[in-house]
Structure 1
């Protein structure tokens, strides 16, 4: 599914904020922005996969084996399942079930309606 322009802009903004936070060494903030990008982009195969790839990188930088393993499982799913089914609102990190729908943050809802 193609991201609508306003949704793409919000996704790109979250990814840019994640990159800035990572460059500043704030890996927690970077991951938080990646979770928001994941919510926005999870119905688009490319955006969904890109969010997971960046989460994998943060997991690597954190030396977090749980996150690394979780992302290595989620990346193939993002590549193959994004157009079929996604758990709406899921933040995409290894700290949550990969199949659990979650509430969408209020400020992101307008981009997903």
Structure 2
């Protein structure tokens, strides 16, 4: 069996997050949206979509800082159009939107395809 592509892995993480979100497991969902964010950053629409789902979690948890930050980051996702984004950044309000972060070991191979 072949390894999924970057896009397929992104969709896998996003869909896991959506399932958890639907089951009201918002913190676990957010974790998968962060992973989708890491995978989606190089692609504008995927990048924005991951922030959109993080925003939805922020709304459900009534977390004002997360809500505001995700709206700002959705706009800032335009950097992906120019190849400007902090590699590995998880995308949540708990980290600087400019800080590169290590890519989790299990996700690194998807960037080497």
Gapped runs of 5+ residues in structure 2?
none
Gapped runs of 5+ residues in structure 1?
none
Per the alignment, residue 82 of structure 1 pairs with 80
Per the alignment, residue 32 of structure 1 pairs with 31
Question: Aligned equivalents of 1:97 and 1:108: distance in 2?
Answer: 21
Question: Aligned equivalents of 2:80 and 2:8: distance in 1?
Answer: 19
Query: What's the secondary structure of 1:25's corresponding residue?
Result: coil
Q: TM-score, normalised by structure 2?
A: 0.93
Question: Aligned equivalents of 2:66 and 2:5: distance in 1?
Answer: 30
Per the alignment, residue 60 of structure 2 pairs with 61
Aligned residue pairs: how many?
108
Computed over aligned residues only, the root mean square deviation of the Cα atoms, in angstroms, reads: 0.9
Query: What's the secondary structure of 2:81's corresponding residue?
Result: coil
Question: Aligned equivalents of 1:112 and 1:55: distance in 2?
Answer: 22
Q: TM-score, normalised by structure 1?
A: 0.93
Per the alignment, residue 101 of structure 1 pairs with 100
